[in-house]
């Protein structure tokens, strides 16, 4: 029997910088299902050199390093060369391309589980139904929370104190933690690391558009509770 409404108690943790939404999501997930000390978390980040550019494959390595069962699903094993032209990726693209491709190549030998596939919303719901959670890469420009009174400004991802003169970009990569759904209303619940005081909610159609936007590779990191 599957539930119509699932809302897992995943703690909300706010990102500290413009670049660490993925690490904030990892902290939420770990607090929920596999508590690790702050020292262990920081040690793992240091060892894996997770600094100002964190890709989904980095988060998969982080889970593996901390002994957490995971499965990373993506459309592209490695870096999509087309992203070079996107303003979001341009700054780090050349230095990152080799590093990220290397992580994909070595994943299997390191015990990092990576699968090239597309994931359906039904698979995500089935995963949540079991009490597991997922970190999803979305286009923050597209994702709109129905409960927040104001949309997240894409500029909230700038370093604190930096003025925003940007026009709305086409793509702003951002990680969120999917923590529930309501089948009756067709809603998805998620924690957005831009906030530490709320669970966000959007329609399945908006969520699907945000996670399938060009730039995300449909990246999703399934994380499992110990059975």
Residue among 17, 8, 7 at smallest CA distance from 161 = 17
What's the whole-model pTM score? 0.90
Residue 78 three-state SS: coil
| Cβ-contact 171, 88 below 8 angstroms | yes
Per-residue confidence band for 227, with pLDDT thresholds at 50, 70 and 90: very low
Q: Please name the helix (run of DSSP H) or strand (run of DSSP E) that holds residue 145, with its range, or none.
A: none
Q: Please name the helix (run of DSSP H) or strand (run of DSSP E) that holds residue 90, with its range, or none.
A: helix 87-90
Residue 73 three-state SS: strand
179 is in which domain, residue-wise?
5-223
State residue 153's pLDDT score. 53
Q: Which residues pair with 124 in a beta bridge?
A: none
State residue 157's pLDDT score. 52
14-44 tens-digit pLDDT: 998 888 999 999 999 999 988 899 999 999 9
Average pLDDT over residues 74-83: 88
List the structure tokens of 177: 């933690």
Average pLDDT over residues 132-142: 94
Q: What is the DSSP string of 159-216?
A: PTT----PPPPS--EEEEEEEEEETTTTEEEEE-TT-SS--EEEEHHHHHHHHSSTTS
| Mean pLDDT across the chain | 88
Separation of alpha carbons 28 and 175, rounded Å: 12
Separation of alpha carbons 126 and 146, rounded Å: 23
List the structure tokens of 101: 């491709």
The share of the chain scoring above pLDDT 70, in percent, equals 89
Q: Is the pLDDT of residue 147 over 50?
A: yes
148-187 tens-digit pLDDT: 876 555 455 555 455 555 556 688 899 999 999 999 999 9
Length of the chain, in residues: 227
Q: Is the pLDDT of residue 1 over 80?
A: no
Mean pLDDT is lowest, of 44-48, 50-54, 66-70, 85-89, for 85-89
Based on the structure, what is the number of domains in the chain? 1
- CA distances in angstroms from 196 to 21, 124, 164, listed in the order given: 12, 23, 22
State residue 35's pLDDT score. 85
In CATH, what number is assigned to the domain containing residue 66?
3.90.70.10
List the structure tokens of 220: 């999703």
State residue 171's pLDDT score. 85
State the Rg of the chain over Cα.
17
State residue 220's pLDDT score. 98
């Amino acid at each position: 029997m599957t539930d119509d409404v699932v809302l897992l108690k995943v703690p909300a943790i706010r990102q500290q910088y413009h670049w660490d939404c993925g690490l904030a999501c990892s902290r939420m997930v770990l607090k929920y299902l596999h508590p690790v000390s702050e020292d262990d978390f920081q040690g793992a980040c240091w060892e894996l050199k997770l600094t100002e550019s964190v890709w989904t494959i980095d988060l998969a390595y982080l889970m593996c390093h901390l002994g957490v069962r995971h499965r990373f699903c993506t459309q592209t094993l490695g870096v999509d060369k087309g992203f070079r032209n996107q303003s979001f990726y341009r700054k780090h693209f050349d230095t990152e391309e080799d590093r990220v491709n290397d992580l994909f190549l070595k994943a299997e030998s390191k015990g990092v589980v990576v699968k090239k596939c597309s994931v359906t919303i039904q698979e995500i719901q089935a995963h949540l139904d079991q009490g597991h959670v997922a970190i999803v890469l979305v286009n923050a420009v597209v994702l709109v929370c129905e409960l927040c009174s104001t949309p997240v400004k894409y500029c909230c991802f700038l370093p604190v104190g930096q003025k925003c003169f940007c026009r709305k970009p086409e793509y702003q990569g951002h990680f969120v933690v999917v923590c529930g759904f309501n089948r009756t209303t067709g809603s998805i619940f998620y924690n957005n690391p831009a906030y530490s005081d709320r669970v966000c909610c959007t329609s399945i159609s908006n969520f699907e558009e945000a996670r399938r936007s060009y730039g995300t590779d449909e990246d999703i990191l399934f994380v499992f509770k110990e059975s």
